[in-house]
Amino acid sequence: MTSRPTDSGLAPGSASRPRLSLNLRVWRQESPAEPGGFQSYRLEQVSADLSLLEALDQLNEQLIAAGERPVHFEHDCREGICGSCGFLVNGQAHGPQAATTVCQLYLRQFEDGATLSLEPWRSRAFPPIQDLVVDRSALDRLISAGGYCSVNTGQAPEGNAMLVGQEQAASAFATASCIGCGACVASCRNASASLFVAAKLAHLGQLPQGQPERQKRARSMGQQMEAEGFGSCSSNLECEAVCPKQISADWISWMRREAR
């Protein structure tokens, strides 16, 4: 490369930003058939400007150079909108910061020298795959049990043929913002998917297009929830506390009325 300044962002100068060292206890499990266990690693003097996933990237580069298997974790957007990432950080789904997915959890949230335990979601409905990765396809099956409107869209209708009040649209939006990460299930002692299902029912149930099948949808998604091995809700509200989109657990009571 030339001596011209570059656009790569890799130029020196970042040294002045804060750095810290971390002890990571990471759940390592080769496959569902083999038992897993924690393995300890140390990251020296990493930038506090990195996200926890970027710290894992850095750890993985070290493991690869040392000839070891890198830590497997899921991710994609890395900006808190796709729902791919998620594991427990010191027992908390997505870690200590409220309204934050683990890809948006930055190291400056932690003290220098802190120890972080990373383990996968633990739930009967989410079978383990490898390390921090679990199979969350049960959530897809919940949606296919009725989390949609079963009218073919047909020709594009005139946009304003159906009016929706501003407050109602905003309320539907708040529930539609669920990213399907599964943190609610992982944090629930009964491994209930109630907040996930309630959010979908409320999203569709508050819009005119969702009215015709409201009751049927609530019943069939409820049945599927049981069939997938999710537990029932005993109102501990942990789900609401960990939800990165801050979806209110009040929707669970709303759902109970719906299913009647």
Partner 1 sequence: MPFAREYGGTLATRSFGGALVSRTFYARGQTGQQLLYGAYQALMRQVALGRVELLCRRDLLELVTVDGVARGAVCRHLLTGALEVHTAQAVVLATGGYSNVYFLSTNALKSNASAIWRAHRQGALFANPCFTQIHPTCIPSGDAYQSKLTLMSESLRNDGRVWLPAMAGDERPPAAIPEAERDYFLERQYPAYGNMVPRDVASRRARELCNAGHGVGPGGRSVYLDLRDAIAREGRETIEARYGNLLEMYERISGDDPITTPMRIYPAPHYTMGGLWVDYQLMSSIPGLFVLGEANFSEHGANRLGASALMQGLADGYFIAPATVTAWLAGHPTPAIAVDDPACRAALERARGRIAALLQVGGRRPVDAFHRELGALMIERCGISREASGLRAGLQELEELEHRFHSEVRVPGSAEGPNPELEKALRVADFFGLAQLMLRDALAREESCGAHFREEHQSAEGEARRDDANFSHIAAWEFRGDGAEPLRHSEPLCFTALQPSTRSYR
Report the site for ligand FES in 93-112 (rule: CB under 6 A): 101, 103
Q: Does 146 participate in binding ligand FES (rule CB under 6 A)?
A: no
**């869209």: which residue's tokens?**
153
Contact with partner 1 (CB under 8 A) among 27, 89, 110, 130: 130
**């049960």: which residue's tokens?**
138
Q: For ligand FES, how many residues bind (rule: CB under 6 A)? A: 12
| Rounded-to-integer distance, Cα 69 and Cα 61, Å | 10
**Residue 39 tokens, joined:** 């393995």
**Based on CB atoms, which residue is closest to ligand FES, 49 or 76?**
76
| Rounded-to-integer distance, Cα 225 and Cα 255, Å | 13
- Which of the choices ligand FES, partner 1, none does residue 161 contact, using the CB cut-off of 5 to 8 A by kind? none
Nearest Cα neighbor of 86 from 222, 13, 182, 215 is 182
Candidates 12-20, 26-34, 74-82, 119-127 — which segment interacts with ligand FES by CB under 6 A? 74-82
**Residue 182 tokens, joined:** 């599964």
Q: Does 114 participate in binding ligand FES (rule CB under 6 A)?
A: no
- Which of the choices ligand FES, partner 1, none does residue 35 contact, using the CB cut-off of 5 to 8 A by kind? none
Q: Does 65 participate in binding partner 1 (rule CB under 8 A)?
A: yes
Longest dimension (CA), the chain: 71
140-179 residues near partner 1, rule: CB under 8 A: 140, 143-150, 153, 156, 159-160, 163-166, 168-170, 172-173, 176-177
- Which of the choices partner 1, ligand FES, none does residue 129 contact, using the CB cut-off of 5 to 8 A by kind? partner 1
Distances (CA, A) of 203 to 34, 46, 174: 40, 41, 8
87-116 residues near partner 1, rule: CB under 8 A: 97, 100, 104, 106, 108
Q: Is 196 helix (H, G, I), strand (E, B) or coil?
A: helix
- Which of the choices ligand FES, partner 1, none does residue 234 contact, using the CB cut-off of 5 to 8 A by kind? none
| Rounded-to-integer distance, Cα 180 and Cα 189, Å | 18
Segment holding 204, helix H or strand E: helix 194-205
**Based on CB atoms, which residue is closest to ligand FES, 98 or 162?**
98
Strand partners, 23: 42, 115
**Based on CB atoms, which residue is closest to partner 1, 113 or 208?**
208
Helix 166-176 vs helix 194-205: crossing angle, to nearest 10: 150
218-257 residues near ligand FES, rule: CB under 6 A: none
| Rounded-to-integer distance, Cα 54 and Cα 75, Å | 11
What's the min distance (Å) between Cβ of 207 and ligand FES? 25
| Rounded-to-integer distance, Cα 119 and Cα 220, Å | 32
Q: Does 180 participate in binding ligand FES (rule CB under 6 A)?
A: no
- Which of the choices ligand FES, partner 1, none does residue 85 contact, using the CB cut-off of 5 to 8 A by kind? ligand FES
Q: Does 77 participate in binding ligand FES (rule CB under 6 A)?
A: yes
